[in-house]
Amino acid sequence: MTTSLGAPPAPPAAVRSRQDRGLADRIALSAATRQGVHLRTADVHAWLTERRRVNAFQVDRIPFAELTQWRFEDGSGNLVHRSGRFFTVEGMRVVDRDGPGREWRQPVIRQPEIGILGILAKEFDGVLHFLMQAKMEPGNPNLLQLSPTVQATRSNYTKAHRGANVTLIDHFHRPDRHRVIVDVLQSEQGSWFFHKSNRNMIVETVGDVPELDDFRWLTLGQIAELLHEDDLVNMNARSVLSCVPHQDTTPGALLSDAQLLSWFTGERSRHDVYAERVPLCSVSGWRRGKETIEHEEGRYFKVVAVSVRAGNREVVHWDQPLIEPVGVGVTAFLVRTIGGVPHVLVHARVEAGFLDTVELAPTVQCTPANHAHLPPRRRPPFLDAVLGAPASRIRYEAIHSEEGGRFLNARSRYLVVDANATEAGLDPPPGYAWVTPAQLSALTRHGHYLNVEARTLLACLNAGALRPQGGM
- CA 25 to chain CA centroid, Å, is 25
Longest dimension (CA), the chain: 71
Q: Which of 209, 255, 281, 326 binds a second copy (CB under 8 A)?
A: 255
Separation between Cα atoms, residue 445 and residue 284, nearest integer Å: 39
Q: Shortest Cβ distance from residue 15 to a second copy (Å)? A: 4
CB 147 within 8 A of CB 135: yes
What string marks each residue from 265 to 284 as x (binds a second copy by CB under 8 A) or -? xx-xx--x-x----------
236 or 412: whose CB is closer to a second copy?
236
**Does 13 engage in binding with a second copy (CB under 8 A)?**
yes
**Does 112 engage in binding with a second copy (CB under 8 A)?**
yes
- CA 260 to chain CA centroid, Å, is 23
Q: Shortest Cβ distance from residue 263 to a second copy (Å)? A: 7
Closest C-alpha among 399, 322, 449 to residue 60: 322
- The count of C-alpha atoms lying within 13 angstroms of the C-alpha of 201, restricted to the half-sphere facing its C-beta, is 25
The CA-based dihedral angle spanning residues 443, 448, 452, 455, taken in that order and rounded to the nearest 10 degrees? 0
Q: Which of 114, 164, 315, 374 binds a second copy (CB under 8 A)?
A: 114
Q: Which of 73, 96, 230, 257 binds a second copy (CB under 8 A)?
A: 257
263 burial (CB, 10 Å; 0-12 / 13-18 / 19+) is: middle
Find the part of the chain contacting a second copy (CB under 8 A) among 53-61, 339-347, 411-419, 450-458: 339-347
123 or 248: whose CB is closer to a second copy?
248
The 3-state DSSP class for residue 122 equals strand
Q: What are phi and psi of 271, to 5 degrees?
A: -85, 145
143 contacts: CB under 8 Å, gap ≥ 6: 52, 57, 59, 136, 137, 404
**Does 86 engage in binding with a second copy (CB under 8 A)?**
no
Q: Which of 180, 212, 281, 369 binds a second copy (CB under 8 A)?
A: 180
Separation between Cα atoms, residue 37 and residue 14, nearest integer Å: 37
Q: Which of 356, 374, 420, 472 binds a second copy (CB under 8 A)?
A: 356
Closest C-alpha among 307, 327, 329, 330 to residue 317: 307
Q: Which of 141, 252, 327, 464 binds a second copy (CB under 8 A)?
A: 252
Q: Shortest Cβ distance from residue 443 to a second copy (Å)? A: 9
Closest C-alpha among 96, 287, 121 to residue 203: 121
**Does 289 engage in binding with a second copy (CB under 8 A)?**
no
Q: Shortest Cβ distance from residue 183 to a second copy (Å)? A: 4
- CA 38 to chain CA centroid, Å, is 26
Find the part of the chain contacting a second copy (CB under 8 A) among 98-106, 130-138, 182-190, 316-324: 182-190
| Amino acid in position 61 | R
**Does 256 engage in binding with a second copy (CB under 8 A)?**
yes
Q: Shortest Cβ distance from residue 54 to a second copy (Å)? A: 34
CB 463 within 8 A of CB 227: yes
295 or 448: whose CB is closer to a second copy?
448
Give one DSSP letter per residue of 185-241, joined into a string: EEE--TTTEES-EEEEEEEE--S-----TTEEEE-HHHHHHHTTSTT-B-HHHHHHH
The total of other beta-carbon atoms located within 10 Å of residue 395's CB is 23
**Does 84 engage in binding with a second copy (CB under 8 A)?**
no
CB 77 within 8 A of CB 89: no
* Bridge partner residues of 277 (DSSP): 92
**Does 96 engage in binding with a second copy (CB under 8 A)?**
no
**Does 10 engage in binding with a second copy (CB under 8 A)?**
no
CB 177 within 8 A of CB 86: no
Q: Shortest Cβ distance from residue 165 to a second copy (Å)? A: 20
**Does 82 engage in binding with a second copy (CB under 8 A)?**
no
**Does 341 engage in binding with a second copy (CB under 8 A)?**
yes
Q: Shortest Cβ distance from residue 359 to a second copy (Å)? A: 13
**Does 422 engage in binding with a second copy (CB under 8 A)?**
no
| Size, binding site for a second copy by CB under 8 A | 66
Considering only residues 188 to 217 of the shown chain, the ones binding a second copy according to CB under 8 A are 199
Find the part of the chain contacting a second copy (CB under 8 A) among 82-90, 109-117, 293-301, 464-472: 109-117
77 or 447: whose CB is closer to a second copy?
447
**Does 258 engage in binding with a second copy (CB under 8 A)?**
yes
Separation between Cα atoms, residue 46 and residue 65, nearest integer Å: 39
Q: Shortest Cβ distance from residue 139 to a second copy (Å)? A: 25
In the complex, which residues of this chain contact a second copy (CB under 8 A)?
A: 2-6, 9, 12-20, 112-114, 116, 175, 180-181, 183-185, 199, 245, 248, 250-259, 261-263, 265-266, 268-269, 272, 274, 338-341, 355-356, 425-428, 432-434, 438-439, 445-448
